[in-house]
Amino acid sequence: MSTPSRRARIYSGTPRNLARLAGVLRSGGLVAVPTETVYGLAANALDAGACRKIFRVKRRPSTDPLIVHIRSLAELPRLAHVNANALKLAKAFWPGPLTLVLPKTGVVPSVVSAGRSSVAVRMPAHPLFRRLLRLAGLPLAAPSANPFGYVSPTSADHVRAGLGARISHILDGGSCRVGLESTIVDLRDPEHPRLLRPGAITRAELERVLGRPVARPGPAGRANAAQLAPGLLKRHYSPNTPIVLHERLGRADVAAGKPGEAWVFLAKPPGARGGEIFWLDARGDLRGVARRLFALLRRLDHAGFTTLHFECPASDEGLAQAINDRLRRAAARG
Structure confidence at residue 321 (pLDDT): 97
Residues 6+ apart with CB under 8 A from 241: 300, 301, 305, 306, 307, 308
273 and 158, same structural domain? no
pLDDT score of 87 more than 60:
yes
pLDDT tens, position by position, 32-82: 999 999 999 999 999 999 999 999 999 999 999 999 999 999 999 999 999
* pTM, 2 dp: 0.95
The answer as to whether 141 is a domain residue is yes
Structure confidence at residue 216 (pLDDT): 94
Q: How confident is the model at residue 273 (pLDDT cuts 50, 70, 90)?
A: confident
133 and 255, same structural domain? no
pLDDT score of 3 more than 70:
no
248 and 168, same structural domain? no
Domain termination residue (choose one: 190, 210, 230): 210
DSSP-derived letter for residue 217 is P
Q: Are strands 307-311 and 261-265 parallel, antiparallel or unpaired?
A: parallel
Neighbour-count burial of 271, counting CB atoms closer than 10 A to its CB (0-12 exposed, 13-18 middle, 19+ buried)? exposed
Domain that residue 278 falls in: 243-331
258 and 193, same structural domain? no
Structure confidence at residue 2 (pLDDT): 38
pLDDT score of 5 more than 70:
no
Contact 144, 54 (CB under 8 A): no
The answer as to whether 2 is a domain residue is no
173 and 90, same structural domain? yes
Structure confidence at residue 6 (pLDDT): 66
CATH of the domain at 191: 3.90.870.10
The answer as to whether 227 is a domain residue is no
316 and 252, same structural domain? yes
Percent of the chain whose pLDDT exceeds 90:
92
The answer as to whether 222 is a domain residue is no
Distances (CA, A) of 192 to 97, 186, 188, 217, 244: 21, 9, 8, 13, 35
53 and 119, same structural domain? yes
Distance CA 309, CA 265 (A): 9
Q: Are strands 140-141 and 261-265 parallel, antiparallel or unpaired?
A: unpaired
pLDDT tens, position by position, 133-148: 999 999 999 999 999 9
| Cα atoms found within 13 Å of the Cα of residue 208, Cβ hemisphere only | 7
pLDDT tens, position by position, 242-262: 999 999 999 889 989 999 999
pLDDT score of 10 more than 60:
yes
44 and 101, same structural domain? yes
Q: Are strands 243-246 and 140-141 parallel, antiparallel or unpaired?
A: unpaired
Q: How confident is the model at residue 4 (pLDDT cuts 50, 70, 90)?
A: very low
318 and 188, same structural domain? no
251 and 120, same structural domain? no
The answer as to whether 168 is a domain residue is yes
278 and 147, same structural domain? no
125 and 80, same structural domain? yes
The answer as to whether 175 is a domain residue is yes
In this structure, of 130-144, 175-189, 220-234, the range with the lowest mean pLDDT score is 220-234
Domain count of the fold of the chain: 2
Distances (CA, A) of 269 to 15, 149, 254, 262: 45, 31, 11, 14
Q: How confident is the model at residue 126 (pLDDT cuts 50, 70, 90)?
A: very high
147-152 mean pLDDT: 97
